[in-house]
Every structure is written in C-alpha cells, then in structure tokens.
Amino acid sequence: MPKKGKNIFQKKTEAGKPDLTILIFTVSMIIFGIIMVFDSSVFVANQPPFNDPYHFLRLHFVWVLIGIIPSVLIYLWDYRKFSKLIIPAMVINILMLILVLFSGNAVNGSHRWLRFGSDQLVLQPAEFIKPIFIVYIATWLAKERPYYKNFKDALKLGFGQKLIGFSLTLGLVLLLIVLEPDLGTTLVIGATAFAVFLVSGTDFAHLLGSAFVTGVFGLMAGIAAILAPYRLKRVQTYIHLFFTGQVDDPQGRGYQIQQILIGIGSGGFWGKGFGQSRQRSGYLVELTAFTDSIFAVST
C-alpha cells in the first residue's frame, strides 16, 4: 500500500510500463470504431433534422476524448484505492437508477436517461453501473474468506452471512434496470456477475452462490418478460431462427434480424467495402445502423 500522504498519482517507474499488446489493440479498435461510426451513420446524418454527414462522427470524437481522459487518470491512479470508493459509487448510482424511473425522460416507452438543463447534459445511469458493479464484485470477491469444505458450513456461514447480501444488491440493481426497461443491460450485468463469481472459487459456498446468482438472474428475466411481452416474442424469434434457419415474420417482429442477416450475408467473408453497405441506407430501424446493429454494416 502507498505510504500515508503519498500522491495517489504514481510515477511511471512505480506504476510500470503499459501492456503494449492491450494498448495497441485498444488504439486499433478506437480507430476502427471511428471509421465505422462515420461509414454507418453518414446516411442518417444527411437526413433532417441533422443535415450534416459529420454530425455523429463529431459526437463520437467527443465521447472518445471523454473516454481517454479518465482512462489515463485511472492508469496513473493506485487501483487499490478503488475499494474505498466503490461503496459510495454504488449507493450514488443506485439512487440515480431509482431517480430515472420517476423523473427520467421517456424515449420509446423507456425511462433510461436523466436530462439536466436544456437537455445539454444527458446521463444514462445504467451505463455507469456496468463498470462500477464489476469493480464492486471484484472488491467483494478479493476479500479473504474461509474455505468451506462441506455443504452445511457453506450454507450456514458462507451463504447465510455473506452471499445473501451480495445477491440482494445484485437483485436490486437488475430489478431497477428491468423496470426502465433495459433488458440488454440487465443481461450484460447478470451474465458478468455470474461469470466473475463462478470463476472466483471452487468451494461449496461458491457453488451455492453461483446457483443463487443464476436464480436471481432468471427471476429478473421472468419479470422482464411479464412487464413487456414483446421481449418474449423477440426471444421466440431468435429460437425459431436457430432451429429452422428462417426468420419468423420478416416484415414484422423479425424485420430487424432479417436486415441484419442480409447485411452480413451480402458482404461475404471480406465484406462489401468501405461505404458500400446497403443496410446503412435506412433499412435498419431508427439509429441502429451505427449503434446496436453496426456489425451488420461493418461486415
């Protein structure tokens, strides 16, 4: 641990050199992302109300800069201090998730965003909870815990005293996100929590905890299906495609999947080339050509 009073920003010799493989890969993906955001968004950006082919490219540049600055600061910062900040960060973010349900602006029936001022500042709390919850899980699992050799001790001590609190926190976070509703983020956080917890140990407590996390995850999925039946229909569409090789209702609920498959299939192994994708030209719904479905354009 750093000595008391020492600057939290460590010198390069103390922090160590960056992993060049990760650094090169990250920079390459950033550059590739910038190119593909421009390629996939130019058609929509040329339409009203934007009327500017570089509109979304400029926005993406802003977000890249916003991401680089904290990344550099986090690299220079002593990572061991995260454990002292993660609980306040979790509490603040959970409060924001609650606030967005009551005062967030509804877009397509979803309350996911908090807007401040004259819509100049827009925050999506569910996006902040992703890295915060990962650090929370890692911090919790990094604490020294006894190894439970039998089922009884694991159930009484490990599960009863420790895992329930963790699972309730996970359940609360997933429930708040499901209520927005945002099933995608719920799946990401739930699957990540399960994976991290599963690989962190091998004793009975971890097996019980993994099963319980799976149960919480399944419960949230059930609630999501009840609150919005269209989600269940979407899953049924995926299942139908998987077992039959055909898109169910390609002009209705299967329209987006059909267009994605056309985009990927028409490109072949090497793709159609920069600026040649047809699916970016209004075939993919709303703004998904350069967001959720950008893979269909980039391939």
Structural domain of 39: 1-77
Residue 203, pLDDT score:
60
Classify residue 40: in a domain, yes or no: yes
pLDDT score, position 108: 65
Is 115 domain-assigned?
Answer: no
Q: How far is CA 86 from CA 91, 92, 99, 134, 136, in A?
A: 9, 10, 20, 10, 6
| pLDDT, tens digit only, all 299 positions of the chain | 444 444 444 444 445 677 889 889 999 999 999 999 999 998 889 888 888 999 999 999 988 998 898 888 888 887 778 788 888 999 999 999 998 888 756 666 677 777 766 555 678 888 888 889 888 888 887 775 655 565 566 555 555 556 677 778 888 998 888 888 787 788 888 888 877 877 776 566 666 667 777 777 777 777 777 777 777 787 788 888 888 888 888 888 888 888 888 888 888 777 777 778 888 888 888 778 888 888 888 87
The DSSP H or E segment spanning 110 is strand 110-116
Residue whose token pair is 């989600």: 231
Domain for residue 125, yes or no?
A: no
Give just the sign of the alpha carbon dihedral 227, 233, 236, 238: negative
Query: Phi/psi class of residue 286: alpha, beta or left (left: φ > 0; alpha: ψ in -120 to 50)?
Result: left
Query: What pLDDT does 148 receive?
Result: 58
State residue 145's pLDDT score: 61
Residue 146 lies in a domain: no
Q: What is the pLDDT of residue 58?
A: 92
DSSP structural state of residue 182:
-
- Look at residue 28 in the predicted model and tell me its pLDDT: 95
- Classified as helix, coil or strand, 273 is coil
The CA-to-CA distance between both ends of the chain, in Å, stands at 47
- Provide the 3-class DSSP secondary structure of residue 122: strand
Question: Can you give the pLDDT at residue 35?
Answer: 92
Last residue of a domain, one of 77, 112, 136: 77
Instruction: Tell me, yes or no, whether 120 lies in a domain.
Output: no
Task: List phi, psi (to 5°) of 106.
Answer: -85, 130
Is residue 244 in a domain? yes
- Looking at residue 1, its pLDDT comes to 44
Point out the domain boundary residue: 77, 103, 136. 77
Q: End of a domain among 45, 77, 109? A: 77
Q: Is residue 107 assigned to a domain? A: no
Give the total number of structural domains in the chain.
2
In a domain, 70, yes or no: yes
State if pTM tops 0.75. Answer: no
